[in-house]
Amino acid sequence: MIHEIFPVGPLQCNCSIVGDEATHEAMVIDPGDDIDDLLAILAKHKLNVKQIVITHAHIDHVGGAMKLRAATGAPILLNQNDYALLQMLDVQAAWIGMADPGKVDIESSVTTGETVSAGSHTATVLHTPGHTEGSICLYFPAEKKLIAGDTIFAGSIGRTDLPGGSMQKILRSLHDTVMALPDDTVVVPGHGPRTTIGIERQSNPFLVKR
């Protein structure tokens, strides 16, 4: 599996490119910004983007999605519980001093039990509300990898003080869904360094049982 992770935009959102070396099919997760750099990486690997998957509708994760769609023709997927947040990208842009990226058109909602894929690499969608109502994680069982959006970080969890956030819901998502994954699962959070489920189970102050 080709997996390029590179931080984009002023908030350094971890954008992921997942590609199949054989078929050259790819998905891009959270193209928040810096789409020209993203297109250069896609060209380097000769990848064709088939799906654009958004872990949640915060501007740093979704801001570049329409530009990427225009360049690739790939559909944009987002859980429907974040559609309301998507309608306030102008407000979000003002919060962090970014330009309003304009309207984002979603092809379809994705939720628990559905899959997204890049050639032979398939991820199960896990709906993990809490950071936002529509937050999702993507779990690649064969590769033992979780692309977690802002639900979990190395040593921390997503903030819940923005519209749609809920500490109760994020803790339920973490305990019932995220921590149910095997310890050797590599976690790629929406910001910051990689970690594993096992490390977080042992040391994440929000998750260790007292």
We find the least distance from the C-beta atom of residue 63 to Zn ion, in angstroms, to be 12
Nearest to 135 by CA among 152, 118, 123, 120: 152
We find the least distance from the C-beta atom of residue 49 to Zn ion, in angstroms, to be 22
Task: Establish if 30 lies at the interface with Zn ion (CB under 5 A).
Answer: no
In whole angstroms, give the CA distance from residue 41 to residue 197.
Answer: 28
Kindly indicate which of the ranges 21-29, 90-98, 111-119, 145-153 contains the residues binding Zn ion, using the contact rule CB under 5 A.
145-153
CB 28, CB 8: distance < 8 Å: no
User: Residue 192: CA atoms inside 13 Å, Cβ hemisphere, count?
Assistant: 14
Task: Establish if 145 lies at the interface with Zn ion (CB under 5 A).
Answer: no
Binding test (CB under 5 A) with Zn ion, winner from 25, 33, 150, 200? 150
Q: Which residue is nearest to Zn ion (CB)?
A: 58
Give the total of residues touching Zn ion (CB under 5 A): 2
Of 58 and 67, which CB lies nearer to Zn ion in the complex structure?
58
Interior/surface letters 175-197, b for 16+ CB within 10 angstroms, e for the rest: eebbeebeeebbbbbbbeeebbb
In whole angstroms, give the CA distance from residue 76 to residue 64.
Answer: 11
Of 25 and 150, which CB lies nearer to Zn ion in the complex structure?
150
Binding test (CB under 5 A) with Zn ion, winner from 50, 58, 69, 127? 58
Residues that bind Zn ion (CB under 5 A): 58, 150
